[in-house]
Structure 1
Amino acid sequence: MNRRIKTLTWGAIPLVLLASLVSIDRIPGTNINLSVPYAAEGPGPTINTLGQVDGEDVISIRGADLDEAEGNLNMTTVSVRTGMTLSQVLSRWLFTDDTIIPIEQVFPPGQSAEEVEESNRSAFVSSESSATIAAMNYLDIPVEVEVVEVLKDSAATGVFEAGDKLLDIDGTAISTPGDAQKIVRSKAPGDAITIGYERNDRKSQETITLREHPSDPAVALLGISMMSVPMSDIEVDYNLEDIGGPSAGMMFSLAVVDKLSPGALNGGKFVAGTGTIAEDGSVGPIGGIAHKVRAAEDAGAEVFLSPAANCAEAMSAKPESITVLKVDSLSQAIDQMAAYNQGADYQTCS
């Protein structure tokens, strides 16, 4: 009996050690990291773009009469877990619908977590600008380009300030950030450009020598982030933090149109969706849409707006109580919701 007890005891030690190793992310007293190079993607928060977060409108619009919002136009997100132990990865793979992906898909080689976060934040700001442009274009409201931020130690440092309105570059009028970026990208580092701008209702010009982009020395960089704003007294502000990437663009644009036009685009229903938005209103594909469909369905959404290019992946979520509509532009998204609400013909993902 004593021999058996000793055998069981010694045999259990390796199992206990193995269980400990797969359950910790760092060996105590050392800098040895035991987390595995994988991440888990799953359903993230879904937020009503017509509503509020922490007592503040997700999208606030001033300078215009607003239509009273009804129902929901929810943006959807994907949650990403990193720094997991082997046991945590196995647990999420076995007991959840999470997708396990190589960590390189979250943090590309050569980029730090801070650089990825900054890139996502920049993409989010860009999507806000595109959402505004697309909505204003749909509503036939002219827009202009405003400086949001000036990068430190860049060609624009000390020249431009947040709030400046950019009018033209080398004599070519610009009306969107895309116009400005196209001209700058056509130049080389070291080239000089002349920018017309307006500050406090006073117009000026400055000649600036472009610098190298930090990630590609062959690409010219001006060093400002921009967004489009209506030329009228209308001001559109997006008040979400800690969310990055461009995938909320379409839902932002729909919410702006809904607030500035009569009637409810969603027919008062709970609509969710995702998709990038371009300045011309075209809707582009995004990642993780199956998780977003599940999140929307779990939240009680009746309709989900999916980019046409994501339809197959969206249906892999096997939705049961939610209708997934196929869209490829802002105007089509509005038309699809109208057709659904009126009982007319609409296109679904299938």
Structure 2
Amino acid sequence: MDALAYQRATDIDAALAAAQQPGAAFIGGGTNLLDLMKGGIAHPLTLIDITHIAALERIETLPDGGLRIGALARNSDAANHALVRTRYPLLAQALLAGASPQLRNMATVGGNLMQRTRCGYFYDTAFAQCNKRTPGSGCAARDGVNRMHAILGASAQCVAVNPSDMSVALAALDAIVQVRGPNGARAISIAQFHRLPGERPDLDTTLARGELITSVDLPPPAFADHAHYLKLRDRASYAFALVSVAAALQLDGQRVRAVRIALGGVAHKPWRASVAEQRLTGQPIDTATLRAAAAAELAQAQPLKGNAFKIELAQRAIVRAVMQAAGQAPHASGDLA
């Protein structure tokens, strides 16, 4: 690791002032940043420790009935908070699906949002070609080992995927990311917070330099009764998703009044399945309708040589997650495996 300076901030204003130094970076739980530093990928000159800012740890109800989760709330604390479990079970399920208990006890909500994509070529500096690490160098994954990579929203510059489970649930719940920076406070919809790679895959989010995430705001609960987070992965513990689905429903009997679906493991950002949502709204919950909606969503997929299987996997995952959110057991394993 490189030599670096360390500063501890005791309030938000002090953290923002310190962050104006060249090469400054905020550190909370450090579960991703420290790995990047040890691997020679991130090279901050000064770490600004924000873990002593009590105002960023709170989880509290908003005046409109929504919920504000402070950026320094630990993933485990957020997942087990009574208001999250009862009013936003989709988020609780997604948080508990991520990483290991030890990492969840350290990782913060704000840090989870800031995770870098988990492409092996990005993390291994022995590979010179990585536009995310060195813009303009190329993308080794396009013609390399790309089983875990994107099938939606990728570009010629990058095919990596966002690794966060939490962010997939937040995308389905229409969360708002509150930030503060040298130019004041602003609110960023979760749909606009993460970026598709385009021509700048080195930029994962729309945060400006020196901006600090202060909280994640959830709208008043509307999908507590019918929600399910499904994560499909190579092993049951501590593995990133091949495909994940956050599904939440409002039902009139067995007919869909409103639906929210987001996918993980398929794109550079959590992928809101708006086509499938439109196809399902007002329709009955049945296998044929779900299959058609899922197929329509994945019609725009552009697989690589190693991950074409993700198209069918994602379609079946959508069907399974929505059925489970609706309280219906899968009709047959052959339909949903």
Per the normalisation by structure 2, the TM-score is: 0.28
Structure with the higher strand share, 1 or 2: 1
Question: Which structure exhibits the higher relative contact order, with contacts defined as CA atoms closer than 8 Å and separated by 6 or more residues?
Answer: 1
Per the normalisation by structure 1, the TM-score is: 0.27
Larger C-alpha radius of gyration, 1 or 2? 1
